[in-house]
Amino acid sequence: MSFPNPIKLALLGAIRVYQSTIGPALPRSCRFAPSCSYYAYEAVERHGPLRGSWLALKRLARCHPWGGSGYDPVP
């Protein structure tokens, strides 16, 4: 029997709150698919809070006019 990681649950909850409250109020500006918040959710869900957060931060750092665009799945 495994117990859920409370840090992982807190991060996933924070991302969902962002997606349902703040995200819809902002203009759609993500250069990638899936969007950065969905990427972050999937990264934390798949890889856990530490590696998932690192992957999400690296993705956010690439989200600028010269950082590329297009389909960018979670590894």
Domain residue extents for the chain: 31-75
Does 55 score more than 90 pLDDT? yes
Q: What percent of the chain has pLDDT over 90?
A: 71
Does 1 score more than 70 pLDDT? no
Cα four-point dihedral sign 15, 71, 55, 48: positive
Give the other-Cβ count within 10 Å of 27's Cβ.
Answer: 4
Which pLDDT band holds residue 19 (cuts at 50, 70, 90)?
very high
Query: What's this model's pTM, rounded to 2 decimal places?
Result: 0.89
What is the rounded CA–CA span in Å between residue 30 and residue 46? 21
Q: What is the pLDDT of residue 14?
A: 97
